[in-house]
Structure 1
Amino acid sequence: MEKHNILIIGGYDPTGGAGVIADAKTAKVLGVNPLTITTSIIPQNNKAVYNKVDIPKKVIKEQLDAIFEDFDVSIVKTGVLNEDAINLILKYKKDYDFKIVCDPVLKSTTNYEFVDENLLEKHVDLFNECYLITPNEEEFNTIINFIEKNNLWKKFDKNPYVLVTGTNDKLITLKDKNVIETIKGKKIDKEVHGTGCVFSSAIASFLCRGEELIDAIKKAKDIVLASVVYATKTKYGYNSNPTYINKEKVIKNLSYALYLLKKINFSLIPEVGSNIAESLLLPNSFKDVAALTGRIIKNKLGGFYIVGDIEFGASEHIAKIILAAKNYDPQIRACMNIRYDEDLIDVLSEKFSISSFDRKLEPPNVSTMEWGTKYACEKFGGVPDIIYDKGGDGKEPMIRVLGVDAIDVVKKVAEIQRIYDRM
């Protein structure tokens, strides 16, 4: 299979939360081969930017020569640039005719200024040659005001796409501000270092894979959302963590989880059977949750059958648990129900976090699974490994095992089964 190459040109952040390292990690997650060129060394973390040391023009040129001599490049993604880097990019674009996706990093979230007025004017030359520019709203306003104040529209003989980023992104064309589409997103109140880099490089990577622009943006929004949900905690904040969770990934996880389940002597099957489910990130409805269309049921030989196929929207029942749990921890995307055993619960409390709900306390006209999960999570102060209930009129007692994905859940179930077998 052809390997797509993306060239990433920008600053080096030694923490890896932003800059060319974050860009390269994003490209790698998306199956694109990242080639990188460093324009500046930027010692920074979630607390401050300490300096910006520009790489000499000769060294930037040598990096470009080394790459273009040996690799075919269709997309170049840029971040922090200096004047020499911009001049070289413009020169090489004439020779190699690549598309440029520019993330115009004007200042850091800690308010370190990367660009003065002279360098911003040089960026305007670059903008004219871009396929796509991805400023946030503040950067966009700064750029437009600067262009208009200095009468720089005359520099533009092209009309590049601009994606003004935010919770809801607005795709426009630069010169006429014509709105092409507004792409809605989800907001998580969490300050994460490097999300702009991840978003822009994800768009560039999808374009490199041959996606159309709108599709590339929509898919990239899923990446940046996941990079926030799965962000790496540091002493002073969070670093972005590029993660890609799509339907194919969910189905693969469930398939492998069922494969692992077959490897263990699984006997903790309730009378109603077991099911296992995994959702997309921050699911909106049961249609975003995949599960078995049938159940895992006992056979007469002491083993079990797996009945049905893995499909999205297959089980509203188990989906309600995941949909409720996401409000307490969006990383928890999977669940499996297994047989309740009172003695087992007592033993499991030594190894797993556990909470429960009592069906007798259930208010009228509510979903048991939704209410019960919320009740158990609020009692625990988060999402535990296990939520159980002791049943009720015509309702079998049940243990529900939760985890970050279906594989994680089955590994927990395997450990629970081992504990049960030793009892």
Structure 2
Amino acid sequence: MSVVPAVLTEEIGAPASQAPEIRNYSLNFGPQHPAAHGVLRLILEMDGEVVYRADPHIGLLHRGTEKLAETKPFNQSVPYMDRLDYVSMMCNEHAYVRAVETLLGIEAPERAQWIRTMFDEITRLKNHLMWVGSNALDLGAMAVFLYAFREREELMDVYEAVSGARMHAAYYRPGGVYRDLPDRMPRYRESQWRKGKTLKRANEAREGTMLDYLERFTADFPHRVDEYETLLTDNRIWKQRTVGVGVITPEQAYAWGMSGPMLRGSGIAWDLRKQQTYARYSAVDFDIPVGTNGDCYDRYLVRMAEMRESNRIIQQCIKWLRANPGPVMVDNYKVAPPSREEMKDDMEALIHHFKLFSEGYCVPAGETYAAVEAPKGEFGCYIVSDGANKPFRLKIRAPGFAHLSSMDEIVKGHMLADVVAMIGTYDIVFGEIDR
């Protein structure tokens, strides 16, 4: 005998033929849901399995980053940027330091610009690897997650080698970067897990410089992307979950202020690296992948193609950096610390060192907006200076905030399972949304 739930009937045990229409009900999706990608609380108004209203509730990760930055000297706010979109760390730093450099009227040395270009693309790879692994896991494909994190770990090692941190690097500085690329990569030590031949094999790629390590990585990476695509691109279940789901028309993408893969997935070839070029993107060759249907599947294809293009850009940066040594920080004690040798011989240099890291530097009064093509879209910093050593106002333009705002319009009429696919394709990180 079948049991009819009480919510479907006037009274428990009433015949199914007498059951009224299914009542609408609210469903909390998150903030603890594993597919919510952060502390998203999504209140869904459901009609059975069909969503007819989605109300995102945010603010559960709010840390007041913009106000905190207004209380700190300019140079002390760089680490705050890493903790916004904590999967795209150096790209966040890039927007902030570009804004400060504009107000100061300075420009980073040529080599520093190329290093920034290369690390922006390394960051893009790290972001997209995290995205494809976690999005596939949300939709039931576990193997891709393990594959993608294999390559992501190798790029984490590059972050650590150049900055000392695997995530929150604070590597970009107004006026350049913290230091030049190291001459050697960190190597694995002998342990109970790595001994003899295993240890030697693990350290094979780490024998030379960082550029040697990256050159070997970029030569192998296209084959790794082929592996991801073998698992997903023509997978029947993957296509059933993504094709025709969450279609965003070009008009909707414009109206909601979308950018990055969300905009390009709808067929709009807008990329700040081309349209409003910065760093040394004008000197490298790459294409802008675009979609045609604007659905989850197209956005997946766009991101996969972007990884291949980022790999091309990194290879071009490696070639230039090998051939062109030089300074990576401006020679200006106002914004750059003196070297240790200079501090030992010059008391004035020592005073500049302490003044820089305690009081910072005063920035001329004015306002500016600087943006970069972050992995998720346009990430920008609007800074107002009143001539003091800290911003008078700082406003961050986070791409995820604009994308999440469209949730209600895009998922309306979809099934509950499609909401998971949409959250995944938005590539949401709440550090930048809540701020």
State if a TM-score over 0.5 links the two structures.
no
Higher helix residue share: 2
Instruction: Work out which of the two has the higher radius of gyration on C-alpha atoms and give 1 or 2.
Output: 1
Q: For CA contacts below 8 A with separation 6 or more, give which structure has more relative contact order.
A: 2
TM-score by length of 2: 0.22
Higher strand residue share: 1
TM-score by length of 1: 0.22
